[in-house]
Homo-oligomer: A and B are copies of this chain.
């Protein structure tokens, strides 16, 4: 309860029940959520919340670095609690989406050496997972 308040205060974000609820959903479930899914979860405890508000809050939390945005599935944007660098694998058979932890890739170093500044790196892998194979 208090950890969410702390996190928002640290980013100088006003404390509202809606924001706490959204943050709680993502931090309590280490999965990848679409906006609609977050909306569905939050509504359980907060039936009056508006979908537009969920969109706004997710965008805010992303800007402040409290959550991360994903664009691996064609249509919908996804969000997750993990903000450390990791990548994603999407199985084209079962549709499962899972995290991939990897060491900093050599390519990143090369870019930096070349003079560019990399602030974000997303590795999106598509294929067939070991279960489906």
Contact A116 B133 (CB under 8 A): yes
In the complex, what distance in Å separates the CA atom of A130 from the CA atom of B118? Answer: 10
Partner of A119, one of B114, B115, B126: B126
| Nearest Cβ on chain B to A111's Cβ, whole angstroms | 7
The contact string, 1 if C-beta is below 8 Å from chain B, for chain A 85-118, is 0010101100000001011011110110011111
Contact A122 B120 (CB under 8 A): no
| Nearest Cβ on chain B to A115's Cβ, whole angstroms | 3
| Nearest Cβ on chain B to A122's Cβ, whole angstroms | 4
Given the contacts A102-B106, A102-B107, A115 and B127 also touching, CB distance less than 8 Å:
no
- List residues of chain A with CB under 8 Å of any chain B CB: 71, 74, 87, 89, 91-92, 100, 102-103, 105-108, 110-111, 114-130, 133
